[in-house]
């Protein structure tokens, strides 16, 4: 019986997608489902995936009728997940061969209040036809949840499925309709209702390349989404603070200060 669904959301990543899929096929833990959700790609993604569908019944493919963004793509995936856990894998990244084995073992050791398990991330930079090691990130761990408002993102995110559903799933209520910061939005919601757990192992490989630096090309959209999400999260966390946002010269937005709100007497 499969306990894990690996979700690969994808859009026009025919160059990288096979590496992501192969990293799932090569897992030491063999009992999994792979759900590839295609956000209406216009390249040869479907042809590539169909070759795998013929060979492995654990692999499932959903082609969305129109391009709607990563948030709605993950929502479509969540509707189809029937396992107690799932983990997201970007279609240009890949897993270490023991990723599922280690994450499942760690999650099952945790209390049910643990909503997410994550690890270290190995960053690679694409240089021509080769990859160069950039850095290995061991994410900072904080006791105070408010530090996570500006903390770096974490990978891989191994979710407790019911916990994700309990917080409303991958909401797309921000001004950009879930196209930006869907992962941060979900992580912060889950931090507000339970615990997160870090594993000191290099389980996720993140590829930096020209076409995935979308935030540098879409500053206005990113900042609108971030401001909405962070403001909403603070309300969900008890509405105790008023955020003071600051914009960098490049247009990025961050929380510079949290001002305590006066409590009604």
Burial of residue 156 (number of CB atoms within 10 Å: 0-12, 13-18, 19+): buried
Q: What is the pLDDT of residues 94-116, one digit of tens each?
A: 999 999 999 999 999 999 999 99
With cut-offs at 50, 70 and 90, classify the pLDDT of residue 215: low
- Please tell me whether residue 66 adopts helix, strand or coil conformation: coil
Quickly state the pLDDT bin for 262 (edges 50, 70, 90): confident
CATH class of this structure's domain 4-213: alpha beta
Distance in angstroms between the alpha carbons of the first and the last residue of the chain: 55
Ordered by start, the domain boundaries in the chain are 4-213
pLDDT at 237 over 80: yes
Tell me which residue has tokens 């009604």. 264
**Can you give the pLDDT at residue 1?**
83
Q: Average per-residue pLDDT in the chain?
A: 96
Question: How far is the C-alpha of 160 from the C-alpha of 115, rounded, in Å?
Answer: 5
Percent of the chain scoring above 90 in pLDDT: 91
| Residue 175: CB atoms within 10 Å | 13
Confirm if 252 and 223 have CB atoms less than 8 A apart: yes
Distance from C-alpha of 142 to C-alpha of 187, rounded to nearest angstrom: 14
- The tens digit of pLDDT for each residue in 13-22 reads 999 999 999 9
Residue 264 pLDDT level (bands cut at 50, 70, 90): confident
124 close to 16: Cβ distance less than 8 angstroms: no
Q: Which two tokens stand for residue 40?
A: 């209406």
**Residue 78: which H helix or E strand, with range?**
helix 70-80
Query: What pLDDT does 217 receive?
Result: 67
- Structure-token pair, residue 201: 């192992």
pLDDT at 216 over 70: no
What Cα–Cα distance (Å) separates residue 190 from each residue in 109, 165, 193, 235? 18, 10, 5, 14
């Amino acid at each position: 019986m499969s306990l894990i669904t690996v979700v690969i959301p994808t859009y026009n990543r025919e160059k990288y997608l096979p590496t992501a899929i192969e990293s799932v096929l090569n897992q030491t833990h063999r009992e999994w489902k792979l759900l590839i959700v295609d956000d209406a790609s216009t390249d040869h993604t479907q042809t590539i995936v169909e070759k795998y569908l013929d060979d492995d019944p654990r692999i499932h493919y959903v082609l969305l009728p129109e391009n709607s963004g990563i948030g709605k793509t993950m929502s479509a995936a969540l509707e189809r997940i029937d396992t107690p856990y799932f983990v997201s894998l970007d279609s240009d990244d890949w897993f270490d061969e023991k990723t599922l084995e280690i994450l499942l073992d760690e999650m099952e050791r945790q209390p049910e209040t643990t909503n997410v398990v994550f690890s270290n991330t190995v960053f690679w930079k694409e240089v021509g036809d080769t990859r160069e090691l950039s850095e290995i990130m061991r994410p900072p761990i904080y006791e105070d949840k408010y530090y996570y408002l500006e903390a770096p993102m974490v990978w891989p995110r191994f979710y407790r499925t019911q916990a994700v559903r309990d917080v409303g799933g991958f909401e797309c209520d921000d001004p950009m309709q879930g196209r930006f910061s869907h992962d941060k939005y979900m992580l912060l919601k889950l931090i507000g209702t339970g615990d997160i757990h870090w594993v000191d192992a290099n389980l996720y490989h993140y590829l930096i390349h020209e076409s995935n630096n979308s935030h540098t090309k879409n500053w206005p959209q990113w900042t609108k989404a971030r401001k909405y999400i962070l403001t909403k999260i603070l309300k969900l966390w008890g509405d105790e603070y008023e955020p003071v946002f600051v914009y960098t010269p490049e247009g990025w937005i961050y929380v510079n200060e949290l001002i305590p709100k006066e409590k009604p007497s």
